[in-house]
Chains A and B, each alone.
Chain A
Amino acid sequence: MPRVLIIEDDRAVRDGVRLALRRQGHEVAAAATGEDGLEQLRTFRPDAVVLDLMLPGMSGLEVCRRIRTHDQVPIIMATARGDDTDIVVGLESGADDYVVKPVRARVLDARIRAVLRRVGGTADDQGTARTEHHGDLVIDRAGLTVTHQGRPVALGPSELRLLLTLSASAGQVFSRQQLLEAVWEHNYHGDARLVDACVKRLRSKIGEPPGSPRYVHTVRGFGYRFGPR
């Protein structure tokens, strides 16, 4: 049973979402403030976090940043339409996905399950070699770990799944829409900023020099391609 932590200041929304997610088969904990959320993250050990960006006191963005300093738990932001810059900043701070409020429980549940699938291994990977070497980058598909120059890289679930997807077909160009479908399980018209923000985070974590990436290349007008040059 997936464990979900909701951080949401409005009591009605918190209770509604908690009730709905419980009905969808999740074990749910709820926090009214960012500080309480960070505390429950330690004690409750959730599999995924649903984080409201508009919180009194410590902001949602700040909570997101603090979680990412030591934890790669999947984070789904709940935002208001219109908080465009917050979405970009949130994604770049390490959030895996976002939903726009008001959201139906079924949609939120689908997003949570999609992000949880990113953490677990998939059947496709079993036939491939256990570890792959791409220059200084070593990808362990079974153990789901990545090392760069011998040091382990802490990748969030979306970053990891993006890297696995791109590197599984090295040299092939993926459009943003393809990646949205493959990694985020969004439809074709999902928000391409998810891909761009995630690529940015991934590049910075595997030590790509800004402006001249070695592993994840931008293909102008089409999308992204993996491959050591």
Chain B
Amino acid sequence: MRVPRVLRALMGLRLRLVVTFTLVAVVATVTTGALTFREARTGVLQQSQDTVIEEFRHRVNTLVPNYRFPPDAADLDAFAADVSRGGRSQPWRVLVAYREASATSVPGDAFAELSPAMRESVRSRLATVFQRVSHDGHSALVVGMPVTFAGQYSTERPASGLEVYLTVPQREEQGYVDALVTAIERATVPALVLAVLIALLAARGVLRPVRALRRATRSIAEGHLDTRLAVHGSDELADLSRTFNETAAALEGSVAELRRMEAGARRFAADVSHELRTPLAAMSAVTDVLDEDAAGLDEDTATAVRLISTETAKLAELVDDLMEISRFDAGAAALHLDEIDLAESLRRTLASRGWQDTVETGLPKPGELRGRVDPRRLDVIVANLVANALRHGAPPVRLDLHAQDDPRAGRQAVVTVRDGGDGIPESVLPHVFDRFYKSADARARSEGSGLGLAITTENVRLHGGTVRAANHPDGGAVFTVVLPLRPDAAEDGTPSPVKEDRT
């Protein structure tokens, strides 16, 4: 039961909310971060490169007039060194080229960052060209610029053939960008944690009323019809709680009404039986007189007198059974437990009704099976089942008793009564314990009161046992009663699950 429960929790509302919130947070953070990063990076690099190009152009413009034209190799070296001193924090790396000759500010500098394509572009377009390159894992800004003659009378600026190149490492700018990435990364983790927390809070807010609803529903199912929910706020869940309360109230009202009607019907039955008892008491007292004198009467009168006598006895039995059922209905039936030998009790039940020769038995030896039961109620249970088998089944009727150990209920006695008849039709089986139940093919009034099996059921239930009816595979109906034996229950004083009034 453990694993599916965990799985169900994982698949639940809480997880779905957390996942959704996390996804939203991830998308928001990544998008914001990416946009911020792009804008900031462009801004930083643009600014630094504008500054560098401006300073470079100014330096070159300032220095060029100091040199002869066309320059020789020494001039080129001096010019390169001169320009390189324009760097603010550190000297620039500068390459100066004139036709085929060239010079670098740092002697022997291969100037690998400078691509041929860029040189070509500077030479042909006569414009300042820049390029951001990444070399050996370091990014750098390369700027190329042709030197032109300033025309005095025209706007044309013919090329001088002199080109100046500059490489500036962009360590600082790279640092800014790296810091930005780190900052975005760092912001993402708290954002995610926050998202999960908010999701959990939201889940809690939704789940609490849902859980309360579930508890209340279960409580109703267990029969606590007065269960109501506290309604907070006015959202959909509050509406649901309100609807639940209205439904529960309606249900409680209907059940109360039904119970009231049922109690009324039962009280009526009990009252009727009670009222019948007094006239019956008078009649029962004199039936023996009628029986004795019937022999001396003429035939018709004798028949009438005997009829009154036997029907009075049946009526007395019926009223007696009705009173007994009423006592069960009113919850007034009490168990009077006594520890007895069950086999002996069953043997006595058969003997006192003269059934010892008509019923086969399979009973334990004396002393083998003792238990705490209500002996009188056990007698009623067994007598009703055997009487039912004799009346509605066919011989042989067999009564068996054995003990069994149930892992939960402890030691139990199992009583079975089986007959050799055709069994009970499947459609009748669920109703055999109903009061006054008569199957369609048995319309004739039976000999019993029609309450025998119902009384048996109530007596078994009072013991905390079970009774069931079934058909044996080899034919015949089988009634099985299982009763707890309570071998450990004390005679007196100690608490017992059943009501006892013995001291």
Contact = CB atoms under 8 A, between A and B. Distances in A.
A binds B: yes
Interface of A: 10, 12-13, 15-17, 19-20, 23, 80-82, 84, 88, 100-106, 108, 175-177, 187-193, 196, 200, 218, 220-222
Those 4 A-B pairs whose CB atoms lie nearest each other, nearest first: A16-B285, A12-B282, A102-B284, A188-B348
Given A177-B375, A221-B491, A13 B285 contact: yes
12 contacts: A20-B285, A23-B288, A23-B292, A81-B320, A82-B323, A82-B327, A101-B280, A101-B281, A104-B288, A188-B375, A196-B502, A220-B491
B285 A19 contact: yes
A218 B491 contact: yes
A211 B313 CA distance: 45
Contacts of B327: 81-82
Interface in B264-282: 274, 277-282
A105 B288 contact: yes
A105 B286 CA distance: 7
A189 B349 contact: yes
Please report whether the interface of chain B is mostly helix, strand, loop or mixed according to DSSP: helix
B221 interface: no
A189 B345 contact: yes
A104 B286 CA distance: 7
A105 B285 CA distance: 5
A100 B321 CA distance: 12
B453 interface: no
* Most chain A CB atoms below 10 A, which of B288, B292, B339, B348: B288
Contacts of B288: 20, 23, 104-106
B453 to A, nearest CB: 19
Interface in B86-132: none
B503 A200 contact: yes
A13 B284 CA distance: 9
B352 interface: yes
A16 B379 CA distance: 31
A4 B485 CA distance: 43
A20 B338 contact: no
Contacts of B360: none
Nearest to B323: A81
A82 B326 contact: yes
Contacts of B279: 12
A189 B283 contact: no
Contact of A103 (B278, B285, B375, B490): B285
Given A13-B285, A19-B289, A102-B284, A191 B340 contact: no
B277 A102 contact: yes
Nearest to A84: B334
B316 interface: yes
Contacts of B248: none
Contacts of B320: 81, 100, 102
Contacts of B6: none
B324 interface: yes
Interface in B292-330: 292, 313, 316, 319-320, 323-324, 326-327
Contacts of A82: 323, 326-327, 332
A40 to B, nearest CB: 20
B391 interface: no
A221 B370 CA distance: 9
B352 A189 contact: yes
A145 to B, nearest CB: 28
B501 interface: yes
B292 A16 contact: no
B336 interface: yes
Contacts of A100: 320
Nearest to A190: B376
B332 A84 contact: yes
Contacts of B286: 16, 19-20, 105
Nearest to B316: A102
* Most chain A CB atoms below 10 A, which of B340, B348, B376, B503: B340
Contacts of B326: 82
